[in-house]
Structure 1
Amino acid sequence: MNIVRTAMLLAFMTALFMAVGFLIGGRGGMMVALVVAAAMNLFSYWNSDKMVLRMYNAQEVDARTAPEYYGIVQRLAQQAGLPMPRVYVIDSPQPNAFATGRNPENAAVAASTGLLHALSYEEVAGVMAHELAHIQNRDTLTMTITATLAGAISMLGNFAFFFGGNRDNNHPIGIVGTLLAVIVAPLAAMLVQMAISRTREYSADRRGAEICGNPLALASALSRIASAAGRVPNYSAERNPATAHMFIINPLSGERMDNLFSTHPNTENRIAALQRLAAEMNLSSTPARPAATPARRSRSVPTAGWGRGGSEPPKGPWS
């Protein structure tokens, strides 16, 4: 049902984009808008992951530089039947995480140092399982397309504001059509983008809980991340608000949950859904951490958050 709903919303977004082009320039404007949308989506398809990771100065880690964190992702990817994604760390005190990439074969997951320090092993596993669920559901590609189309519609709206619509007598746009292109279309595009984001989060929560086998750990992680996100700023996200929908919890300090303009569902509603899933799975408490082979610690640390100066091994609540 989520796939059908997302497809319908994407179709609406594309039609809206072409309609704005028509309002501005008639049939010719509609075709130009379609070509621009295709070019932007093609560029985003190949480069969106690199652009986002660069925005957050994410540092890639491996089994040597971050053994526990990398091991969690590796174990969960195997359980989900996914190729091993690239693994990144963001040096940010706000606990949060996101996934990116055009497909499972070219995917990446990123967690902040704040998340790795503040959450337990089971909670980190729940969060990373949620991000792997986004990859498995190809949500990263869907959200890239919607974000690109929403941005392009806003761009066309600005163009209509400064240059006006087609004044041809055979194209009755007038001031009303211009206002639609400037105000209504970008607003509708933003609402569609947010609707897709909220739909995808519930789906990723459920699939992530199935991957890690621990809905309650993911629920606990959501509660702790949401609480910290309201107190700890994420300056990179504040500078790039268009990427807020990628995170497991909205990282922006000014966001308001559970309203028409929210990129994420209400956290309490997500937690309640996970608790119901735990009841279905007959889970009443958080399972113990699975046994793991001791990992070799590294003397080289990729970010300041794990061992200032690079002379200490990675630190975390499970180390």
Structure 2
Amino acid sequence: MMKRIFLLTVTNVAVLVLLTAVISLLHLDRWLTAAGINYPLLLVFSLVVGFSGSFISLAISKWMAKMAYQIQIIDSPQTEGEEWLLNTVRSLAARARIAMPEVGIYQSPEVNAFATGPSRSNALVAVSSGLLSQMNRRQIEGVLGHELTHVSNGDMVTMTLLQGVVNTFVVFLSRIIGVAVDSFLNRDNDERRGMGMGFFIGMFLSEIVLGILASFIVAWYSRQREFRADAGSAHIAGPDAMLSALRGLQALSEGGPVIDERSASLNTLKINGKPSGFLSLLATHPPLEERIAALERLQVAA
């Protein structure tokens, strides 16, 4: 808890310092003041708006996942398969040096698994019935190692911090652009008071454009963490387990993936085709062939 509070504080201070420096270097402070904008107050407002939504989502992430997927948490194993799954997660969590997460199964033909939760000590790992029925246990172990590495690396918190930072910039810069647009449209009106329609149009349009650009940054980081999670799984579950899992996913995808649309944003090992061109910049996961190649290079280097 203290580490998360420290990270949040440092991130907020860093964002404030950076935005203040940019404003000062571009001499925007005088222009904003002349336009009637209290930019320190706008900075604080942007931080609150930018981070609050991200941290609320993080705080309720486990609850949302359970509701969206109707996950059945395994408290007392009823079958040999459930007992194996629970014991495997417990063993991998010990190797990853994290607390035992909640483990659940949800009914879906999609071959998928994901990890979520507000912290390393309060996480959930869920697997689909499709994954359990279409992969062998060694492959499943690789998938579980991948998800537990996400937990061990604190990816949920890191993604929340990154999303909060980019949200802050989007909120702040969109309002600056709105002021600029409104000032330009009303440059000959000396009697104007307050913000006009130009401000709201400029703010709205720039929020859309900046939001898309911010999504590129978040998606790029998400792709990098997938490579790290693959490497982490190779470490705690064995490289053969993770490679077998990725190759199994690749083989299954060649027949046309089955997609569960209930809450795609929660998936962390999903198969959703092979985006190309512009769409590849928004992909949260690298292509399977790139992940396999990266893991093979890591295995050779070892």
Within 1, Cα distance between the matches of 2:227 and 2:68? 26
Q: 2:50–2:166: 8 Å Cα contact kept in structure 1? A: no
Question: How far did residue 197 of structure 1 move?
Answer: 0.3
Within 1, Cα distance between the matches of 2:167 and 2:258? 25
1:108-140 C-alpha deviation (Å, 9 max, x unpaired)? 111111111111111111110111111010002
Match of 2:100 among 39, 62, 84: 84
1:189 aligned onto 2:214: yes
Q: Identify the residue that residue 235 of structure 1 maps to in structure 2.
A: 260
Higher CA-based Rg: 2
What are the within-5 Å matches in structure 2 for residues 1-319 of structure 1?
A: 27=39, 28-62=41-75, 64-65=77-78, 66-147=82-163, 167=182, 178=203, 181-212=206-237, 214-229=238-253, 231-237=256-262, 240-243=263-266, 246-249=267-270, 251-252=271-272, 255-256=275-276, 259-281=280-302
Name the count of aligned residue pairs: 259
Within 2, Cα distance between the matches of 1:135 and 1:44? 16
What letter matches 1:262 in structure 2?
A
Within 2, Cα distance between the matches of 1:151 and 1:97? 28
1:26-49 C-alpha deviation (Å, 9 max, x unpaired)? 624443222222332342332122
Q: Secondary structure at the match of 2:269?
A: coil
TM-score normalized by the length of structure 2: 0.71
1:267-286 C-alpha deviation (Å, 9 max, x unpaired)? 111111212233344xxxxx
The gaps in structure 2 that reach 5 residues or longer are 1-7, 23-28, 188-192
Aligned CA distance change for structure 1 residues 31 and 151 (closer, same or farther; 3 Å): closer
The gaps in structure 1 that reach 5 residues or longer are 1-6, 282-319
Within 1, Cα distance between the matches of 2:209 and 2:139? 41
- Give percent identity, aligned residues only: 30
Q: 2:120–2:152: 8 Å Cα contact kept in structure 1? A: yes
What letter matches 1:97 in structure 2?
A
Compute the RMSD of aligned alpha carbons.
3.9
Question: How far did residue 193 of structure 1 move?
Answer: 0.9
Q: Secondary structure at the match of 1:102?
A: strand
Aligned CA distance change for structure 1 residues 261 and 38 (closer, same or farther; 3 Å): closer
Higher share of residues assigned helix: 2
Within 1, Cα distance between the matches of 2:298 and 2:118? 29
